Chains A and B, each alone.
Chain A
Amino acid sequence: MAERLRRARGRDPLGLRRALSGPLLPGLVAAMALLAALAMAGAVAAAAMAARWEGGAAAAMMVQLPANAQTGPAAAALAALPGVAEAIPLERERLAALLRPWLGDAAGLPLPGMIELRLSTLGAGVEALPEAIQAAIPGARVEAHGIWVARLSALARSLEALAWLVLALVGAVAAAMVAVATRAGIAARHATIVILHDMGATDSTIASRFAGRIAFLAGLGAVLGAVLAAPLLYLLGGLAAPLLGNALAMPWGGLAALPPAAALIAWLTAQAAVRLWLRGLP
Chain B
Amino acid sequence: MVRLEDITLRYRPGAAPALSGLDFALEGGSFTWLMGPSGAGKSSLLKLLHLAILPSEGRLNVMGTAIHAAGRKELPALRRRIGVVFQDFRLLPHLDVLENVALPLRIAGRGEQQLLADATELLRWVGLAERMKDRPEALSGGEQQRVALARAVVARPALLLADEPTSNLDAEQSRRMVNLLRQMHRLGSTVIVATHNEALPDEYPAPILRLEGGRLASHG
Chain A positions near chain B (C-beta within 8 angstroms): 6-7, 9-11, 13, 15, 18, 191-192, 194-196, 198-202, 205, 282
Contacts and interface: CB of A to CB of B under 8 A. Distances in A.
A118 B133 CA distance: 82
B106 A198 contact: no
Nearest to B91: A195
Query: Which residue, of A7, A10, A18, A205, has the highest number of chain B Cβ atoms within 10 A?
Result: A10
Contacts of A9: 94-96, 99
Contacts, number: 63
B92 interface: yes
Contacts of B53: 282
Contacts of B75: 282
Contacts of A205: 107
A15 B73 CA distance: 25
B102 A10 contact: yes
A198 B52 contact: yes
Interface string B2-41: 0000000000000000000000000000000000000000
A7 B116 CA distance: 10
B1 interface: no
Query: Which residue, of A6, A196, A200, has the highest number of chain B Cβ atoms within 10 A?
Result: A200
Contact of A282 (B72, B80, B108): B72
Given A192-B92, A195-B90, A282-B54, A200 B108 contact: yes
Interface of B: 50-54, 72-73, 75-82, 84, 90, 92, 94-96, 98-99, 102-104, 106-108, 112, 133
Contacts of B50: 198
A15 to B, nearest CB: 4
Contacts of A202: 73, 76
Contacts of A11: 106
Nearest to A10: B99
B134 to A, nearest CB: 11
A282 B52 contact: yes
Contacts of A198: 50-52, 79, 84
A255 B50 CA distance: 50
B95 A10 contact: yes
B92 A13 contact: yes
A6 B108 CA distance: 20
Contacts of B54: 282
A200 B80 CA distance: 5
Nearest to B94: A15
B18 to A, nearest CB: 15
Given A9-B94, A13-B92, A282-B54, A199 B107 contact: yes
B100 to A, nearest CB: 9
A196 B96 contact: no
A195 B92 contact: yes
5 contacts: A13-B92, A15-B95, A200-B82, A201-B76, A282-B75
B94 A199 contact: no
